Amino acid sequence: MRYPVPLKSSRSGPLSGATRIPGDKSISHRALILGGLGIGETIIHGLLEGEDVLNTAHAMKAFGARIHRSDDGLWHAYGVGTGNLREPAEILDMGNSGTSTRLLIGLAAGHPITAFFTGDSSLLKRPMSRVMTPLGEMGAQFMARDGGRLPLGVRGSEKAAPVSYRLPVPSAQVKSAILLAGLNAQGTTTVIEPVPTRDHTENMLRHFGLDVVIEDLSGGARAVHIEGPKCFEGCAVDVPSDPSSAAFPVVAAILVEGSEIRLPGLCVNPARIGVYETLREMGADIRFEHERVSSGERVADLVVRSGGGLRGMDVPPDRVPSMIDEIPVLAVAAACANGITRLTGLAELRVKESDRLAAVASGLSACGVRVEAGQESLTIHGTGGSVPGGAHIETNLDHRIAMAFLVLGMVADSPVTVDDSRPIATSFPGFVDLMNDLGAQIEPVDGAILLARD
């Protein structure tokens, strides 16, 4: 039996120090998937050892890859080779991870095997029809619950057919599912994205030596082409720190007066740094130093200083895909800014680990912030300083809602509690210790520690 672990976050003194944020979640999934496919050894340095990524590792083993961690913290994968995926004997439990599920459904769909996927109560609610439609065009067959929900079975195609598919929603997971199926299809698979999304799959495929053609189309759209079937070899991968995880200490450092923190080796892929651009435009002091490229990804050291106070702004909707996971913590920054912040184009927030649009709106309101929520929008009336706080937040198995409201507690007049911090381990193991080492005061709610030790 596992019990919820509530946490309390109280007003914090200045944050200071240099700390390494765990590895990027998106890149870690892709390193394991391609490492589990490429012939020979792939050595991964800096892999995120969060539950979501461990679920990908577990599934890749079930597909026949050999994967292990050595004592020095490196991960080693020995791949099966494109076309040689083994049929998993068990049902694959993907826990909380939508990325693992959608990417691996794509991988399985391109192979002549049958695989079954399930997950936790959050993942069981998330739509899979967005990958079932294009993968069905490639020849895969599915059996899923109503609305394309897990548990789901996929029977991959004997000879996957290449498609040209225009994404109806901006989703890197859907794009990646199609490209991974395309690796074993006969011919050129094309994904057209009207609004570009994170391109880690493209970068990782190239890093493994594969030819991915990227075409810039009119109006900012992009087409990605991959030719299958393609066998490839393993390689060495360096996973940079996760900019989505970093956004929590970054916002805390911006808001708590007198703070200065340094975060080395962060992924600063242009498709991931919308939150940093936005915070800068709101008046934050965020610098990228020593920009470089590592394993096909842009990396930099981040220096963040508090000061000045933030100004509310209208955030351009076409920037949302580059900060989709950071909206909850950006909303916390907006709640403390001077003036109004308007966010539009947020439809995808409704289908994340929880309905994040509703969770942000109700959580901020409970903390005394004026918020208007539309079907796809949030309008946040900044308090111009601290917020009343004093609320108890329901996290609904959503790690980023838990972390965002713990950050809010650091600048609130009264402590903020979250009902369950366990989901934080899906993406940011060690979050509480890391934040407290920087100067935060996040602690178990009285008596809860006994429940935590079940």
The residues assigned a catalytic role are: 325
The residue (of 26 and 396) whose beta carbon lies closer to ligand S3P is: 26
Contact indicator for 249, 291 with CB cutoff of 8 Å: no
The residue (of 176 and 278) whose beta carbon lies closer to ligand S3P is: 176
Residue 336 CA to residue 82 CA, distance in Å, equals: 50
In 383-426, DSSP assigns E strands to 387-389, 392-393, 412-414, 416-418
The residue (of 8 and 30) whose beta carbon lies closer to ligand S3P is: 30
The residue (of 179 and 411) whose beta carbon lies closer to ligand S3P is: 179
Give DSSP secondary structure letters for 304-327. Answer: EE--S--B--EEPGGGGGGGGGGH
| Shortest distance, position 448 Cβ to ligand S3P, whole Å | 28
The residue (of 348 and 376) whose beta carbon lies closer to ligand S3P is: 348
| Shortest distance, position 142 Cβ to ligand S3P, whole Å | 18
Burial class (CB in 10 A: 0-12, 13-18, 19+), 192: middle
The residue (of 173 and 354) whose beta carbon lies closer to ligand S3P is: 173
Centre a 10 Å sphere on the Cβ of residue 335 and count the other Cβ atoms it contains. Answer: 28
The residue (of 315 and 411) whose beta carbon lies closer to ligand S3P is: 315
Residue 295 CA to residue 286 CA, distance in Å, equals: 24
Residue 13 CA to residue 339 CA, distance in Å, equals: 25
The residues of the shown chain that bind ligand S3P, judged by CB under 6 A, are 26, 99, 171-173, 176, 198, 324-325, 348
Q: Give how far the C-alpha of residue 412 lies from the chain's centroid of Cα atoms, to the nearest Å.
A: 27
Residue 45 in 3-state DSSP? Answer: strand
Alpha helices per DSSP H over 183-312: 200-207, 243-255, 274-281
In the chain, what are the helix, strand and coil shares in percent, each to the nearest 5?
Answer: 35, 30, 35
Contact indicator for 329, 323 with CB cutoff of 8 Å: no
Contact indicator for 199, 191 with CB cutoff of 8 Å: no
The residue (of 322 and 341) whose beta carbon lies closer to ligand S3P is: 322
Contact indicator for 166, 190 with CB cutoff of 8 Å: no
Contact indicator for 290, 265 with CB cutoff of 8 Å: no
Which residue, judged by CB position, is nearest to ligand S3P in the bound state? 26
| Shortest distance, position 128 Cβ to ligand S3P, whole Å | 11
Q: Give how far the C-alpha of residue 236 lies from the chain's centroid of Cα atoms, to the nearest Å.
A: 22
| Shortest distance, position 436 Cβ to ligand S3P, whole Å | 25
Give CA angle at 409 (408, 411), nearest 5°.
75
CA distances from 349 to 68, 129, 146, 194, 340 (A): 34, 17, 21, 18, 20
Residue 102 in 3-state DSSP? Answer: helix
The residue (of 306 and 396) whose beta carbon lies closer to ligand S3P is: 396
| Shortest distance, position 169 Cβ to ligand S3P, whole Å | 8
Nearest Cα to 329, choosing from 275, 404, 253?
404
Residue 189 in 3-state DSSP? Answer: strand
